[in-house]
Amino acid sequence: MDRKQFFSVLDTFIQSPGKFTVLSHVNPDGDAIGSSLALSQFLEKLGHRVEVMVPNDFPGFLAWMPGASNIQVYDKDTENCDKILEASDLLFILDFNHISRSGGIRKTLESLKTKKILIDHHRDTDLSQFACALSETEVSSTSELVAETVLHYGEHYIDESIATNLLVGIVTDTGSFSHSIFHPETFAICAKMVEKAPSYNQIHQLIYDTFSENRLRLLGYSISNKMEILEEFNTAIISLNKEELARFDYQVGDTEGIVNYPLSLKKIRMSVLVTERQGVIRFSFRSKGNFSVHELAQNYFNGGGHTNAAGGTLNCSMEAALNQLHRVLPEYKDLLRKE
Ligand code: 5GP
Ligand code: MN
């Protein structure tokens, strides 16, 4: 289904006023929140009643985003969220493409027959799950796809809130325009958003200059004390266990971005951050060039994502998780060493 087909099917769904829910993924990031809020604000302008819902809470550094205070957090208010989902005429699935990424909402989602519309940029989508889908992997972010959608209906729909939310999504998913840029249109879209948003500089500050002292010290500790360089595989690994996170008074979102730093080393092609969360071990993978962390995450870490950014989880101890990582690296040695 190309864009034209998507828009024409979408038209039929949004012609008459409805009750919609826009859903995004577990551990929501800037793109999840930005794309969901912007789409909901656009749909409200068309006269629909729209709720935005995420499985669990989002990081505090996104709380200032226009409309963020109205987001329904499933694991904080499960009963009410289930009622909202059951009463919805249509579900929009944003920034994820697999039910395994829906956290606690999964059970309810599986029991509902409600039609689903997908807007997403992850790989390996099973399109049969959706009434229609805007599923493209060669875009910076889901927010870029939402921007294209709103612009398709008319630039006049872009207001301050929508522009701000979409910029947050694009800026965070591209690491402030440092990766995941596949075409110049990303900048053209951002230029349109910057025109409508109050101040790009302020948006950037609100996202990135909000660290607590503990968060910055955790970053310093991660790099100077915990970064392991495996020259043989052009790989860097940082692991943080529960005690270490507690020592820096870990808050949701505090480890965000740490995984990117080792990639600034010339010799490093893959960076891995391994953290201990409630009962599970979470992996964050980043790479430069053609090495696909999506394949690695999918093959060995119950996850996936994109070629250069992916995540996964294992249900085991930190020690076992690190052993697993070291065990599989030799299989990828040639790919990791290729120029
Ligand atoms: P992060 O490392 O920032 O958590 O995730 C990097 C990218 O991989 C994001 O685009 C995210 O949506 C995706 N991702 C993270 N964890 C998982 C996972 O467990 N499964 C899949 N399929 N994708 C993931
Ligand atoms: Mn995204």
Domain limits, CATH 3.10.310.30, in the chain: 213-337
262 lines ligand 1 (CB under 6 A): no
Q: For residues 302 and 311, what is the distance between their CA atoms, to the nearest angstrom?
A: 8
Residue 278 is predicted with a pLDDT of 85
Residue 13 is predicted with a pLDDT of 97
Which tens digits make up the pLDDT trace of 22-56?
999 999 999 999 999 999 999 999 999 999 999 99
Residue 25 is predicted with a pLDDT of 98
Domain limits, CATH 3.90.1640.10, in the chain: 3-208
Rg of the chain in Å (alpha carbons): 20
Residue 1 is predicted with a pLDDT of 81
Strand, coil or helix: 102: coil
Is 117 within 8 Å of 13 (Cβ atoms)? yes
Residue 339 is predicted with a pLDDT of 67
227 lines ligand 1 (CB under 6 A): no
Around ion ligand 2, which residues have CB less than 5 A away? Answer: 31, 95, 141-142, 173
Nearest to residue 37, comparing CAs of 201, 188, 168, 221?
A: 168
Q: Whose alpha carbon is nearest atom 16 of ligand 1? A: 311
Strand, coil or helix: 16: coil
Nearest to residue 252, comparing CAs of 35, 23, 61?
A: 61
DSSP class of residue 26?
S
Residue 110 is predicted with a pLDDT of 96
In 265-302, which positions are buried (b, 16+ CB within 10 angstroms) versus exposed (e)?
eeebbbbbbbbbeeeebbbbbbbeeebbbbebbbebbe
255 lines ligand 1 (CB under 6 A): no
- CA end-to-end span of the chain, whole Å? 35
Residue 306 is predicted with a pLDDT of 92
Q: For residues 197 and 240, what is the distance between their CA atoms, to the nearest angstrom?
A: 37
Residue 338 is predicted with a pLDDT of 81
Q: Which fold has domain 3-208?
A: inorganic pyrophosphatase (n-terminal core) (3.90.1640)
Residue 279 is predicted with a pLDDT of 85
Both tokens of 318, joined, read: 């930190």
For 13, residues 6+ apart whose C-beta sits below 8 A from its C-beta are 90, 115, 117, 131, 132
Ligand nearest to the CA of 94: 2
Q: Which fold has domain 213-337?
A: Diaminopimelate Epimerase; Chain A, domain 1 (3.10.310)
311 lines ligand 1 (CB under 6 A): yes
Give the Å distance between the CA of 172 and the centre of ligand 2. 9
Helices within the chain (DSSP H only): 3-14, 30-45, 78-86, 106-111, 142-153, 160-173, 185-196, 200-208, 213-226, 242-247, 293-300, 318-337
Which tens digits make up the pLDDT trace of 85-94?
999 999 999 9
The model carries a pTM of 0.94
Q: Read off φ and ψ for residue 257, nearest 5 degrees.
A: 95, -20
Give pLDDT < 50 ranges for the chain: none
275 lines ligand 1 (CB under 6 A): no
Q: For residues 4 and 124, what is the distance between their CA atoms, to the nearest angstrom?
A: 21
Closest ligand 1 atom to Cα of 312: 19
Which tens digits make up the pLDDT trace of 60-74?
999 999 999 999 999
For 63, residues 6+ apart whose C-beta sits below 8 A from its C-beta are 69
Give the Å distance between the CA of 303 and the centre of ligand 1. 7
Residue 47 is predicted with a pLDDT of 97
